[in-house]
Amino acid sequence: MTNNPIGGFLLLHKPPLITSHRALSPIKRCFDGRIGHTGTLDPMATGTLVCAIGQARKFIQYIPSDAKKSYRGTIQLGCQTDTGDITGNVINTLEPTTISCELIQSSLASLTGEIMQRPPIYSALKYKGKPYYAYARSGQKIPIQTRPVTIEQLELIEYCEKKQQIVIEARVSAGTYIRSLAEDIANQLNTIGCLSSLERLTIEPWTHHRQYTIDQVTQSENPEQLLLTIDSGLRHLPELTLEPEQITKLRHGIKIPNLTGKQAGQYRAYDPQKNFHGIINTNINQVCAVKMIQTHD
């Protein structure tokens, strides 16, 4: 167990068949403090789950909400389920069909760019304050509006005609449902389909950082060394260097005069030694704290 009072972000490789919340349970025992996460994965899905350790939890809301994600998914053709993935109830099947790789490539190209996507009924989106999945479980029909999403990249990795499976990789905007994308791809191929596996490969802004399995974290002699710094998730904000006494005042809720010459907006606050202290806001007259790391000064 570590007693690091600050914490950071951990890129956890979630295993299949457990919820994101349950994946955190063994991780909590490695750190002295509460743990949160962002970017929930479906139980079936594997891959990158961003865990916020210690004071990093306070900064989750400041991570860009439009962060792009990349996935690898397997589409099972000829099978449609109520959830859009293989864990759901089968509601329709079709006989195997011969599909050329050229047709698949053309279909993927037609779904690349900004598209209108119909989210799955089994999702956490809300209608009249109630999640879609609650209506689905009770058998209630609700209107589901399509919404714009961006499929930045969509690539065919493998096609197995015998198994009637297509493996794709996709880089998508926030809010994109890969289950819906799988169904749309199948529709473009004049058949039906559902997602049979899904792995989140990357999530911005940690695209090039390493992920760790649950075992790697729990068996580490020093799990604190696996953490990314809190400011690693805040690189979209410009940085501003302040003197230690200014930072102390801001941490205690005291506004200070704006002598920085910087234009109004939010900044990452650092001391002269490049230690990160939190997020501040400047206007023409003053600087105030938005969210600060708490220390024992």
**Active-site positions?**
42
The answer to whether the beta carbons of residues 119 and 147 sit under 8 Å apart is yes
- Give Cβ neighbours of residue 250 (< 8 Å, ≥ 6 apart): 242, 256, 269, 277, 278, 280, 287, 288, 289, 292
